[in-house]
Structures are given as C-alpha cells and as structure tokens.
Structure 1
Amino acid sequence: MKERHDPSSSGGIDRWPLGTADPFATSAAAGGGRRRVRHLRRPTVTFAVGWSRGELRPPDPPRGLRQALQCLPYAYRILREGEYGSLVSTGSAIAVPFMLAARSLGIECHYVESAARSDGPSLTGKIVSRIPGVRLYSQYERWAEGPWGYGGSVFDGFGLDETPAIRERSVGRVVVTFGTMRGYPYRRAVNAVHRLLPEFTTADADVLWQVGDTPVDGLPITSSNLVPARELRQAIDDADLVIAHAGVGSSLQFLDAGHCPVLLPRSVKHREHIDDHQWLIANELHARNLAVSRDADALTVDDIRLALSRRVLHSTATPFALRSDLIDARPGQVDVAAPVTTWSDREQTARRRNS
C-alpha cells in the first residue's frame, strides 16, 4: 500500500490560517504554486484567496505581470490587516505586488525561486531582485551566487525505493493529466499515450483523462477539461501509473503519492507553452531517478515499464533555512553568513505564541 504524505500533519497551510498569531505568510500562484508552498510548509496568500473574497481576478495566463500588478492595492490591504512580520513567495507573478506592498510596510520578504528554474531566475525573480531588502533563494546550488542564496530544493525530500516493483504486468488504473492551462492544447501527448495504452493496460482498465484545452475529437476516449481537485487527488493516490506534463506542482503531487511519473514536457516549438521550463523540471527529476522524462513523440512502452518498476519514498531532507536578519540594503548586499531560521524553528515559536 502506498503511503501518502499529508502536509497538514507537519505544519502545512491547512493548519496555518491567515491572520493567526503566526506573523508569517506566503504568496504563490494557485494550484501548482500552492502545492510548492505546502512543501515549504507555510500559510499562503494566493490568487485564489482573494478570488474567493471577490477581490482578485481569477488566475491569469503565464507571465500575467500586468494583471498581477493590478492586485497591488489588495495585497497592501491583506498584508496590513493581517499584521504579518514576514512574507515568502515560491516564484510567480503574484510575488511582485505582494513584495512591493510588504516592503512598503516594512515586512521582511523572502523570495524562493521556483524549482522549475534550474538554469537561472525567472522573469519574476529578476524583477523581485530589484526590490530593496528582499532576500533571494535558488533551489539549485549551481546558480546560487551574488544576491541569490541556496537553501535546498522541494525535491530533496524524495528518494527512490530500491525495492523493484513488477515491471512487466499490465495495469488497471491510470491517470493521464496534462493540466488545465487555457490556450495551450497538447494533442501530441494525448495521441502518444492513446497509441500505447493497449500495450500496458488491462482490457477493462480505468483511465482518467484530464486534457485541459486539448481537443480529443476522433479518439475513442472519455476525457475532462478539468477534474475536481479532490477527485483527481484520489485518482492519483489509487493509480498504478501517472502520465503527465511536467509542472512542478503536479509533479510534487505524484511524488507525494509514491509514483515515479512518466513526464512529457510541453515544448514551445510546438506552441504548447510559453517557454521550455517544463523540460528543466523533467530533466531534473529524471536525473534524480524520480521520473521518466520523454518527448511525447519519442514515448515508448519501455519508458512506461521503467516508470512502473519504480516507487518513490519520502526521505529526510535538511530543513529549508531562511536568513532571519532584516536587510534594508540594495540588492546584492546580502550577508550569506547571517543567522538562519528554519521552518521548524518558526513553527515552535508560533506554537509558543498560541499556547
């Protein structure tokens, strides 16, 4: 039986509602960004938080910086009313207005670049790095230099189960999910998986398809543009195999459930995304043996069998550390030897305040 890690059992956002005595909030995009925050274990301000209050717009397309900046007044009000002492973002456009507002209020800010950025900071990261006083963190030591510190990666908490699983069997439960992003269909991947399904599934296999904006006309499959989050999570937990595009948030969900997923990264060449950052994610997980990554057109049944032969376990990782000194200097003047505060330290402090 697969064991599923429950982030709420170890300080996840569900146990840290906004406005509590813990003066520490996070900002992220809804969905994948929120799952990344769960692995960093903090309460969260997302597009979805304001949306539920009728304040912020629904999530915008990738790099919706102009739309994100329209949230600046709401970010200022949320942070001021919450009386927060610190703010963390895991890398999304919503970080810009929240960190501008936070620094104007004198709130300590930490920007953790997305695990998708293995070769350097994102556009958001470059913008945030110009905001005075924001501490910057890379999840990849190879480019952590200058103002960018290194505190570890969300992927460090996973390892490969050395006990081999059965590779040659046919499976009865498969989840195929290519996200819900509007305007970017991924028919190449749908075609590739459909073509191979008979070679590794039973005749009565239950296959859940979440295809987003991808048309599936002409294919004998039953699919959904959007599967409710709880239903999708349960299907992933119960599945024998997961095949997906290479989003950070969805990949973390698969690893949490013990899967070694088959990742088919979207390609800007085929107009499947705005850039090739999914290849950076997929290549990183493939190098760690936590996923099998292939171009959709090159997918084979051997790739499927390889993923089925692996299981992922939770491993012990060094707690992500934040510099606790308040830096008001210009970007680049970061004292890398400054004292650090770990998540567990902050959780203990918050619990003492609430007791």
Structure 2
Amino acid sequence: MIFVTVGTHEQQFNRLIEEIDRLKGNGIIKDEVVMQTGYCTYEPKYCEWSELLPYDQMLENVEKADIVITHGGPSSFIMPLQIGKIPIVVPRRKKYDEHVNNHQVEFATAVKERYGNIIVVKNIKNLEKAILKYDRIVQSMSTEIENNNEVFNEKLGAIVEEMFE
C-alpha cells in the first residue's frame, strides 16, 4: 500500500494528488493507494481518499504502507522515519500556490543533505521514477534520526556526574 499525505496546511496541493491519481489510473502504480488530501480541490478518481484523518488513522496508514509519500512538512515526514520507513518528500512550492514561500523545498533539501534519510522529489515528473525504484533507492539509506533531546540529556548527565566526582 502507498500512503500519501499533504498535511493540514490550508492551501491546495493538487499537483501531488493529481500526479499520484494519474499514475494509479494509468496502471503505473499497481498497489492500493490511500490519500489524505487536505485542502486540495482535485478529487482523486482512482485512489481511496479522505480530506483529513485522525492522528491514529494517520499512524496506522504509515505503519501499513510500503511507501509513504508526503509534503515537506516536518511532522509528516518525521512520522515515517520514527516508524523506520524512508519517506518520499514532495515539497510544496510557492509558484504553484501551494504555500506562502519555498521553505519546504529548502528544509527538505537540507534534511536530505545532512541526514540522507529522505527521498526529495522537487520535480513532480521524477515522482514516478522514485516510486518504481523505491526499493533500490532505500537499500543504502538509514531510517535513524538523531534525537537532540537524547544527546543533550547524555551530555548534561556527564557534566553532573563529573561535578560529583
């Protein structure tokens, strides 16, 4: 199953939803596709979809999915990483009226460069290739995410222990 989520941002993300629906309708995607479409104005014809989903259903869909495709909102792509899955991230873009600026492009690119644990698709024409070659792409990628709280606590603990030696 492929799970697609565009989050809860109030601007449409028709570009992603339409492309996935096209790939499913043309038979390129053979898997079942479940979408959370948010404020999109396009209604998918070939995929199961809901505008919004409760958190528990989102989590269940991410757990069940073989591939998670999401917009560039950190919460949406961190969830699959926490479950041990590499997400395909398609950042929203200002020029398509999907967001107020291009911060999702910049942030997703920075995460990819720093951690190498997400697949960033900036050009929607490359989404098909990312889906079809997903298994090969993720073979060399790690789903581990650095937990800054854990690092901070370890360092603080070492300082406290040193103080009482």
Please give the range of the TM-score, normalised by the shorter of the 2 chains.
0.7 to 0.9
**Cα shift at 1:300:** 3.8
Does the CA contact (< 8 Å) of 1:260 and 1:292 recur in 2?
yes
The separation in 1 between residues aligned to 2:125 and 2:93, in whole angstroms, is: 13
Instruction: Please point out which of 245, 253, 257 is paired with 2:71.
Output: 245
1:293 equivalent in alignment to 2:120: yes
* SS of equivalent to 1:215: coil
Amino acid of the structure 1 residue aligned with 2:90: L
The corresponding residue for 2:8 is: 180
Task: Report which of the two structures shows the higher radius of gyration computed on alpha carbons.
Answer: 1
* SS of equivalent to 1:195: helix
The separation in 2 between residues aligned to 1:265 and 1:222, in whole angstroms, is: 22
| Segment of structure 1 superposing worse, 267-276 or 298-307 | 298-307
Instruction: Please point out which of 65, 81, 84 is paired with 1:255.
Output: 81
Q: What are structure 2's unaligned runs of at least 5 residues? A: 161-165
The corresponding residue for 1:13 is: none
The separation in 2 between residues aligned to 1:175 and 1:265, in whole angstroms, is: 16
The corresponding residue for 2:20 is: 193
Q: TM-score if structure 2 supplies the norm length?
A: 0.78
* SS of equivalent to 2:143: strand
1:269 equivalent in alignment to 2:99: no
Query: What whole-Å deviation, never above 9, does each CA across 1:180-222 have from its counterpart, x for those lacking one?
Result: 122x0011111111222332424xx2x2210100023363433
Does the CA contact (< 8 Å) of 2:34 and 2:47 recur in 1?
no
Percent identical residues = 21
* SS of equivalent to 2:53: coil
The corresponding residue for 1:222 is: 48
The corresponding residue for 1:282 is: 108
Does the CA contact (< 8 Å) of 2:19 and 2:124 recur in 1?
yes
* SS of equivalent to 2:68: strand
Does the CA contact (< 8 Å) of 2:34 and 2:49 recur in 1?
yes
1:314 equivalent in alignment to 2:165: no
Does the CA contact (< 8 Å) of 2:116 and 2:142 recur in 1?
no
1:233 equivalent in alignment to 2:59: yes
Amino acid of the structure 2 residue aligned with 1:265: P
RMSD over aligned Cα atoms? 2.5
Does the CA contact (< 8 Å) of 1:192 and 1:299 recur in 2?
no
Alpha carbons of structure 1 residues 318 and 276: separation in structure 2 relative to 1, 3 Å: closer
User: Which structure shows the higher strand fraction?
Assistant: 1
Q: What are structure 1's unaligned runs of at least 5 residues? A: 1-172, 322-341, 350-355
Alpha carbons of structure 1 residues 217 and 234: separation in structure 2 relative to 1, 3 Å: closer
- How many residues are aligned here? 151
Amino acid of the structure 2 residue aligned with 1:199: I
Q: TM-score if structure 1 supplies the norm length?
A: 0.39
User: Which structure shows the higher helix fraction?
Assistant: 2
| Structure-to-structure mapping, 1:154-173, within 5 angstroms | 173=1
**Cα shift at 1:316:** 6.6
